[in-house]
Amino acid sequence: GDLLPADGVLIQGNDLKIDESALTGESDHVRKSLDKDPLLLSGTHVMEGSGRMVVTAVGVNSQSGIIFTLL
């Protein structure tokens, strides 16, 4: 799936499922929707569906950037 390059908030989605295993270790894909869990994190992968998001953080300010800085 496509790699998300930035953190953001979902503003439009169509059956969106995300692989967050790179950040959480959880292998199950996470369903994202406007009303339930609309946050998208950089370093995760789109596995199904499509969507649009408003970017809230990039680079070292993103969730994955903060994690990598702490290592």
Start-to-end CA distance of the chain, whole Å, equals 26
Q: Which stretches of the chain are DSSP H helices?
A: 21-24, 63-70
pLDDT tens readout for residues 53-70? 999 999 999 998 998 899
| Rounded-to-integer distance, Cα 66 and Cα 27, Å | 22
Model confidence, pTM = 0.88
Per-residue pLDDT of the chain (71 residues; tens, 9 = 90+): 899 999 999 999 999 999 999 989 999 999 999 999 999 999 999 999 999 999 999 999 999 899 889 98
Domains of the chain (ranges plus CATH)? 2-70 (2.70.150.10)
